[in-house]
Amino acid sequence: MMTFSRAQREVQLTGRGGTNFSPVLAYLEEHRDYDALIVYTDAYAPCPATPQNRRTRIMWLFVSEGNYRSCYPKLQHLGQGADLKATAAIAQSV
């Protein structure tokens, strides 16, 4: 893991697709000191196994309402979920 500002400088995105949630959930199993994890995703990935680390709360943030409606039901046992449009509307109303 790294800070967001460092990641902006150092991370280069290559390719796309092949989403797999298991590596990040495995990381949480080994590093239990995180309070929360925000996963920004289109959710086109296999549903991961439920992690043993239930201390770290997970927020699934979907790229669209359609992705949220079709994918969140299989992930809801792992944490809360919202789509980006709904999240933006909530932020504007505050």
In angstroms, the CA 70 to CA 56 distance is 24
- Give the tens place of pLDDT for each residue, 9-54: 776 666 667 788 888 889 888 888 888 989 988 888 888 888 887 7
Is the predicted pLDDT of residue 88 greater than 60, yes or no? no
Residue 5's pLDDT band, with cuts at 50, 70 and 90, is confident
Q: Tell whether the model's pLDDT for residue 81 goes beyond 90.
A: yes
Q: What single letter denotes the amino acid at residue 79?
A: G
Mean pLDDT of 65-93: 79
With both helix axes pointing from N to C terminus, report the angle between 84-93 and 65-75 in degrees, rounded to the nearest 10: 110
